[in-house]
Amino acid sequence: MAKKVSTKKPLTVNARSHALNATKRRQKPNLQKKTINGEKVIISAREAKKVA
Protein backbone atom coordinates (compact mmCIF):
# COMPACT_ATOMS: atom_id res chain seq x y z
CA MET A 1 0.00 0.00 0.00
CA ALA A 2 1.24 3.49 -0.83
CA LYS A 3 2.12 5.83 2.02
CA LYS A 4 0.50 9.28 1.89
CA VAL A 5 3.26 11.88 2.10
CA SER A 6 1.50 15.01 0.88
CA THR A 7 -0.56 17.05 3.35
CA LYS A 8 -2.64 18.73 0.64
CA LYS A 9 -6.41 18.69 1.15
CA PRO A 10 -9.36 19.70 -1.05
CA LEU A 11 -10.25 23.39 -1.24
CA THR A 12 -13.86 24.54 -0.83
CA VAL A 13 -14.77 27.08 -3.51
CA ASN A 14 -17.87 28.56 -5.10
CA ALA A 15 -19.10 27.36 -8.48
CA ARG A 16 -20.61 30.34 -10.30
CA SER A 17 -23.38 30.03 -12.89
CA HIS A 18 -24.06 32.60 -15.63
CA ALA A 19 -26.64 34.14 -13.27
CA LEU A 20 -23.85 34.38 -10.64
CA ASN A 21 -25.56 31.88 -8.33
CA ALA A 22 -23.00 30.44 -5.93
CA THR A 23 -22.96 26.77 -4.95
CA LYS A 24 -20.19 25.13 -2.93
CA ARG A 25 -17.90 22.67 -4.66
CA ARG A 26 -14.52 21.11 -3.92
CA GLN A 27 -11.25 21.40 -5.82
CA LYS A 28 -9.31 18.20 -5.25
CA PRO A 29 -5.49 18.22 -5.27
CA ASN A 30 -3.71 16.39 -8.10
CA LEU A 31 -2.41 13.41 -6.11
CA GLN A 32 -0.27 10.79 -7.88
CA LYS A 33 1.19 7.42 -6.89
CA LYS A 34 4.96 7.40 -7.42
CA THR A 35 7.78 5.05 -6.47
CA ILE A 36 10.69 6.87 -4.81
CA ASN A 37 13.69 4.83 -3.63
CA GLY A 38 11.66 1.61 -3.97
CA GLU A 39 8.84 2.89 -1.74
CA LYS A 40 5.38 3.72 -3.09
CA VAL A 41 4.18 7.14 -1.98
CA ILE A 42 1.21 9.39 -2.75
CA ILE A 43 2.35 12.94 -3.51
CA SER A 44 1.00 15.87 -5.46
CA ALA A 45 2.00 16.38 -9.09
CA ARG A 46 3.88 19.57 -8.17
CA GLU A 47 5.91 17.69 -5.54
CA ALA A 48 6.56 14.86 -8.02
CA LYS A 49 8.07 17.34 -10.51
CA LYS A 50 10.49 18.64 -7.88
CA VAL A 51 11.60 15.14 -6.85
CA ALA A 52 12.08 13.79 -10.39
pLDDT tens-digit series, residues 5-48 = 999 999 999 999 999 999 999 999 999 999 999 999 999 999 99
Other Cβ atoms closer than 10 A to 47? 19
Q: How confident is the model at residue 1 (pLDDT cuts 50, 70, 90)?
A: confident
**What's the half-sphere exposure (Cβ side, CA atoms, 13 Å) at 26?**
6
Which residues sit opposite 13 in a β-bridge? 25
pTM over 0.85: no
Question: Which residue range forms the structural domain that includes residue 9?
Answer: 3-51
- What total number of domains does the chain contain? 1
